[in-house]
A and B are shown apart, each in its own frame.
Chain A
Amino acid sequence: MFMRFIYKFSSPPYFYAISAKMLPWLTVLFLVLLGYGLYGGLVTAPADYQQGDSFRIIYVHVPAAWMSMFIYVVMAISGGIGLVWRIKLAEIVSISSASVGASFTFLALVTGSLWGKPMWGAWWVWDARLTSELILLFLYLGIIGLYSGIEDKRTASRAVAILALVGVVNIPIIHYSVEWWNTLHQGATVTKLDKPSIHIDMLIPLLFMAGAFKVYYFIALLLRSRNELLEREQNAKWIDELLENVK
């Protein structure tokens, strides 16, 4: 049954139509989750006894960091599906996720340093997780660079799928080695950026924000996939009807 759904969902015209219907609902859901998350995070959550109000940056930093990792894994999996079963839509989902993932990684880095500055007085802290995040950003830049380097879109997306799979195998190794390196060179400032032991009504807004970011990713993914689909299916017949009622 699941495979039937996959094939039905992955036929371009069906995907194009269904995504148009889903987008408004997703936007509403995104705004609701965001509203709860922001209200909880900025207003009701008590200030941290140690870090004061600057800890509220975690409501943006942590979800962004989670998303950067989550999107890379989704990109690798959908790339792998596109490579093995040659489902065009999986390739499109994979490459459309790359730029969203890269922006979340960049976001996690900037908010991480904005959080680090008041706490440890330095814009950049060689903390294990921030360093892994930086390396993840290079992985994303490699993916985007490779995709834009190859002219033929089908070959480019297969190249990206291979690189993403190689990357996803390497991420745990890189993360472990950076973690290990961090404990080895324990510098003077003990940099502990992991979440402070979090109080329940600090945690709830964090989960809302994480949910909001996931829904946002899905929206951005659908929008980009639709564009990529139009590019790839230019000569298809279903585009002709589509263009008729657009005029």
Chain B
Amino acid sequence: MTHLNKLEAYQLSCVRDDRILFNELNFTLTSGQVLLIEGANGAGKTSLLRILTGFRRAESGHLLWNEELIENSVHFYEDAAYIGHNNGLKVALTAQENLRYAQALSSTTLTIDDAMAKVGLAGYQDTLVRLLSAGQQRRLALARLLCTHKPLWILDEPFTSLDRASIKLFEQFIETHANQGGLVIMTSHHETQLPHTLMQKIHL
């Protein structure tokens, strides 16, 4: 990840069912930083993520990816990846088929076998995702992020339904991703052990 990427938000506001969830939200996230979004349930964390992924239009304010509005930036969807509650995996396909499909859609950095080995799923290439545990499925989603070129990671509650070891592994990958010049935006309930030097926090 040679060149520096930057995500800037100006005066973001979001209204849902006539309730103002947040107003005048500003932040700037550059390569190598992690943005943690905290807040109670229903405080608008997921709505903010939907805005940051460009799925939902903010009520007012705008978002810039490398000084370009995300609506008309060609590169935003090339560089951004999103993992929601349901991982974006097809349970009827095998792990390998899912990853090959993801690579065919966007780009390839690591081979499938390397990526799966990194997340500790070596050998699971041909098992149906339906047979994997929740933790293993979340690791497979992480493998998808590793094997495609996605500088910006947007993660919605990445640590839910994960055991201690998987959380540890996930945090390591987030840290290495940030150190290699990647950007991470995530919402989370419980305290993370990520080093504070990388961290930016927003409380809704």
Chain A residues within CB distance 8 Å of chain B: 86, 151-152, 154, 234-235
Contact in complex: A235, B20 (CB < 8 Å)? yes
Question: How far is the CB of B50 from the nearest CB of chain A, in Å?
Answer: 11
List the one stretch of B11-19, B25-33, B37-45 in contact with chain A: B11-19
Contact in complex: B17, A151 (CB < 8 Å)? yes
Contact in complex: B20, A152 (CB < 8 Å)? no
Q: Which 8 A-B pairs have the closest CB atoms?
A: A234-B18, A235-B20, A235-B18, A152-B16, A151-B17, A152-B17, A235-B15, A86-B57
- Given A152-B17, A235-B18, A235-B20, 6 other A-B contacts at CB below 8 A? A86-B57, A151-B17, A152-B16, A154-B57, A234-B18, A235-B15
Chain B residues within CB distance 8 Å of chain A: 15-18, 20, 57
Question: How far is the CB of B44 from the nearest CB of chain A, in Å?
Answer: 14
Question: How far is the CB of A156 from the nearest CB of chain B, in Å?
Answer: 12
Closest to A158 in B: B57
Question: How far is the CB of B100 from the nearest CB of chain A, in Å?
Answer: 33
Q: In whole angstroms, what is the CA distance A234 to B59 when docked? A: 14
Closest to B20 in A: A235
Question: How far is the CB of A144 from the nearest CB of chain B, in Å?
Answer: 21
Q: In whole angstroms, what is the CA distance A114 to B63 when docked? A: 57
Q: In whole angstroms, what is the CA distance A154 to B16 when docked? A: 10
Contacts of B17 in A (CB 8 A): 151-152
Contacts of B16 in A (CB 8 A): 152
Closest to A233 in B: B18
Contacts of A86 in B (CB 8 A): 57
Question: How far is the CB of A228 from the nearest CB of chain B, in Å?
Answer: 13
Q: In whole angstroms, what is the CA distance A151 to B57 when docked? A: 16
Closest to B59 in A: A154
Closest to A234 in B: B18
Closest to A154 in B: B57
Q: In whole angstroms, what is the CA distance A152 to B16 when docked? A: 7
9 A-B contacts (beta carbon < 8 Å): A86-B57, A151-B17, A152-B16, A152-B17, A154-B57, A234-B18, A235-B15, A235-B18, A235-B20
Question: How far is the CB of A150 from the nearest CB of chain B, in Å?
Answer: 12
Question: How far is the CB of B62 from the nearest CB of chain A, in Å?
Answer: 11
Contacts of A235 in B (CB 8 A): 15, 18, 20
